[in-house]
Amino acid sequence: ARVPGALYTVNPIAINKDVDVYTENKRAIVEIDTDKFGKVVLVLVAATMVGSYAVYGDDGSNCLNGQAVTKGSVHGEFRFGGSTVLTLFEPGKIEFDEDLVKNSKHPIETLLKVNTRVGEVKIDVKRF
């Protein structure tokens, strides 16, 4: 789903007013059904000078609702520069790594690069 909005900077130091870029900026919401994590939601947040993005399927075409994607494949890009991606998991499906948990309590932003580990699947012992 595409959500219209402003194009404020996502750099918290540069914002001179009380703005929640996660709810006010232009966004795209991508829902992915996974076997291990259940439903995962990506919120692609556009920003100043990053006013557009593209979301791809595995074959490089525009991703359509219901289209399958492969873990680790290139699935999109921000146009000109970069921006912010929020990754949301269902409650209880992932155990986040300690550095993320620690930084989130303060709050301290944690830089993540592509393929950086953020946690692991929580095993539901009730299922066994």
Task: Give the pLDDT mean for 84-102.
Answer: 90
Beta pairing partners, 77: 54
Which tokens go with 62? 């525009």
pLDDT tens for each residue of 15-39: 566 777 777 787 888 888 888 888 9
Q: What is the mean pLDDT of residues 86-92?
A: 90
- What's the pLDDT tens digit per position in 39-65? 999 888 877 766 566 777 777 666 666
pTM for this prediction: 0.63
Tokens of 4: 């219209």
pLDDT of residue 30: 86
- Output helix, strand, coil percentages for the chain, rounded to the nearest 5: 10, 35, 55
3-class SS at 38?
strand
Question: How many residues make up the chain in this entry?
Answer: 128
